[in-house]
Structure 1
Amino acid sequence: MPSRRDAIADDLRARITTGRIGPGECLPSEAHLASQYGVSTLTLRNALAVLQTEGIVEKVHDKGNFVRRPLRRITYVGGDRTPGGRAAADAAALSVSVHTTRLRARGHLVALLMVSTSSPLTEFLCVSHEAEKPHSLTRIYVPSDLAPAAMLRESPSYEDVMRRLTELRPPLAEVRERVSVRLPTPEEASALRISPALAVLAITRQTADITGRVIEAALLVLPGDRADAVFTTHYMNDERGTEG
């Protein structure tokens, strides 16, 4: 026999999937729903947490619980040679905000960029949105000599950042990517407006030049309920003709 939590989640799920509560609509207040189902507010919140984890309902701070609108899947294309890789639903539909910070290498950044502790770095924090919905979160780190101070003063757009980084960096020799699944940090869950219990697809990229120097590192986080990673390997066939 299902628990009260699961029975409530099943009923709300049915009301949503049959269209009785439509996409984007706000659910009745938690107090109202708890009274309607004859349960405590805690039990009601546990039922809503089930739907939040499934990506059916999202809780917006100080506004309530809303039925999530259908969102297109995000495809990360691995092996791309542009900073940060590509993670797109429809690039034309995305808006990206960029926050730039100077910092010193500490902790995992020392190993990621293969630099000494306190080496000067520039961080580009990029948050993309599809309409009003957060799409992805990317942190791009480069040695400060490859990101002039003028870039911080200009408040550049994402496109300008990518263009300038491409112009300033030396020829590339290697792009290494590591893909993992984990729970989001509190900051990531807040930025992406997802449940802390929803796994994210985390991609770490290291880009090195022909001398072996890491000239860019990117940490990309995508909501795990709608993200795919695609990697394609192209083989060069050495076709030699035979003399007859």
Structure 2
Amino acid sequence: MSPLSSGLLGDLDPTSDRAVFRQIADQLREAIDRGRFREGEKLPSEAELVDHYGVSRMTVRNSFSILQGEGLVHAEHGKGVFVRPRPPVRRLASDRFARRHREQGKSAFIVEADAVGSHPKVDSLEVKEEKASQDISTRLGSVRRVLARRRRYLLDGRPVEFATSYLPLDIARGTQIAEPNPGPGGIYARLEELGHRLDHFEEEIRARMPSPAEVKTLHLAAGVPVIHLIRTAFDTEGRAVEVCDTVMAADAYVLSYQLPAT
């Protein structure tokens, strides 16, 4: 069924000073936002839109490019343009590092995957001692060398996150934290077993476009930004015991926070 006969799309406004390809993108975006085109659903083809609007194929392609740049759609060669899935994971900042999860032997990522019924996996793991960058050194209280743990997280086979944890060597060296598998509950459970009972976390978050390496690592589609999060964990003595530098595919997450009003 064509977009004209289905009534999903309207007509162009010849009196508007907005470029035709932007008007088409506006109509498609509104149809997506209203659920007229659902997640994973194919948009009308170039030929259908050319026939409906009476424009050139290049005009339609420019409209698709806008939507791809916004991360709303993705193109599959030889198949068409499809609505991108909405973020499947909701990160509850007030709950994801709750002690009860560690006591149950679950890391934060596993908790979030369980909540959406997805299969979690960790790959591309690297654990090594290295010189701390100036920023990491400052965050950890002027340490010179750290244990770095790099890993990529996947949900149902899709890469969604890449993270590096930096820990002071006087805490992590020679412990299970330095092993590829730190055991049930992850490194936070091991830190508490070592006497560093966690007190609070501080997070800095910003959105940006990905680097070429991040596009490759996370298999990002064109136009999809990343969420860059840096978290510092503090023990009850006020010492920074870990810095976690995380890059997330922005189309895979919703960041949810509960903030006190007093």
Q: TM-score, normalised by structure 1?
A: 0.65
1:74 matches 2:80: no
Q: 1:150 to 1:6 in 2, by over 3 A?
A: same
2:149 paired residue number: 123
Q: Does structure 1 retain, via aligned residues, the 8 Å contact 2:204–2:230? A: yes
2:112 paired residue number: 88
Structure 2: which amino acid aligns with 1:72? P
1:241 paired residue number: none
Structure 1 residue 94, shift from structure 2 partner: 4.0
Q: Which runs of 4+ in 1 moved over 6 A?
A: 32-36, 60-64
Structure 1 residue 143, shift from structure 2 partner: 2.3
1:9 matches 2:32: no
Structure 1: which amino acid aligns with 2:56? G
Structure 1: which amino acid aligns with 2:140? L
Q: 1:219 to 1:38 in 2, by over 3 A?
A: same
1:170 matches 2:196: yes
**Aligned with 2:165 (options 123, 134, 140):** 140
Structure 2 regions of 5+ residues with no counterpart?
1-15
Structure 1 regions of 5+ residues with no counterpart?
236-244
Structure 1 residue 197, shift from structure 2 partner: 4.5
1:238 paired residue number: none
Q: Distance in 1 between matches of 2:62 and 2:184?
A: 42
Q: 1:81 to 1:160 in 2, by over 3 A?
A: closer
**Aligned with 1:216 (options 239, 242, 261):** 242
**Aligned with 1:47 (options 59, 63, 83):** 63
Structure 1 residue 23, shift from structure 2 partner: 1.4
Structure 1 residue 216, shift from structure 2 partner: 0.8
Q: Distance in 2 between matches of 1:191 and 1:104?
A: 23
Q: Does structure 1 retain, via aligned residues, the 8 Å contact 2:203–2:232? A: yes
Structure 1: which amino acid aligns with 2:132? A
Structure 2: which amino acid aligns with 1:205? R
| Residue identity (%) | 22
Q: Does structure 2 retain, via aligned residues, the 8 Å contact 1:97–1:158? A: no
Structure 1 residue 60, shift from structure 2 partner: 6.6
Q: Distance in 2 between matches of 1:232 and 1:15?
A: 34
Q: Distance in 1 between matches of 2:148 and 2:195?
A: 14
Structure 1 residue 213, shift from structure 2 partner: 2.9
SS in 2 for 1:115: coil
After superposition, the C-alpha distances for 1:70-118 in whole angstroms (9 at most, x for unaligned) are 443523314735698668362652413141231321242222222344x
Structure 2: which amino acid aligns with 1:38? S
1:38 matches 2:65: no
Q: Does structure 1 retain, via aligned residues, the 8 Å contact 2:70–2:223? A: no
How many residue pairs match? The answer is 228
Q: Distance in 1 between matches of 2:176 and 2:77?
A: 34
